[in-house]
Amino acid sequence: MENNYYDDFSAMINNYFQHDYRDRGIKKWQGFFLSDHTSALKRFDYDNNYSETPMKQMATSDILRVAMHALANWQSIVMQLNATTYEHDTQKNIAGMIASIDDRAIYIEDSKGETQGYLFEDIRAIKSSQYND
């Protein structure tokens, strides 16, 4: 007699999941994400799905002139490298202050205070907020 009860209960459960149960899908898992997780996912999405409009190719002399003007006047610059991603999109623009310039490269200090050098032949274009030429 007890076996009949379990068979009826099993049939009732199977019927419920086959006909009445509605899976909420991803909604039921969203409660497990912390704000740190969602901000990291947004940052990951932004970093991996970013498309920058290509700037017009500049001559090395023009790049040097804009860079020297920005360095002399303590202006921030936006620089674009002459490299593309595997999908042929331009990389993100580099923004910051010019730390120094030598005969082969421009050294940019970013917002974190780190300095990175970029060779003139790798630079596509550069612009300063105040220098329009």
pLDDT digits (tens, 9 = 90+) for 51-90: 678 889 999 999 999 999 999 999 999 999 988 777 777 7
Q: What is the pLDDT of residue 125?
A: 93
Region 6-13 average pLDDT: 81
Band (112; pLDDT cuts 50, 70, 90) = confident
Short-list 120, 88, 114, CA closest to 101: 120
Q: What is the pLDDT of residue 27?
A: 58
Q: How far apart are CA 22 and CA 17, in angstroms?
A: 8
H or E segment to which residue 115 belongs: strand 115-119
Q: What is the pLDDT of residue 39?
A: 73
Max CA pair span of the chain: 95
Beta-bridge partners for 108: 98, 116
Q: Which fold has domain 60-128?
A: SH3 type barrels. (2.30.30)
pLDDT digits (tens, 9 = 90+) for 13-60: 888 878 877 766 655 555 666 667 677 766 666 555 556 788 899 999
Token duo for residue 2: 């007890």
Examine the pLDDT at 7 and tell me if it is beyond 70. yes
Q: What is the pLDDT of residue 44?
A: 66
pLDDT digits (tens, 9 = 90+) for 86-111: 777 778 888 889 999 999 999 999 87
Q: What is the pLDDT of residue 16?
A: 84
DSSP code of residue 58: -
- The domain limits of the chain are 2-48, 60-128
67, burial (CB in 10 Å: exposed 0-12, middle 13-18, buried 19+): buried
Short-list 77, 69, 66, CA closest to 108: 77
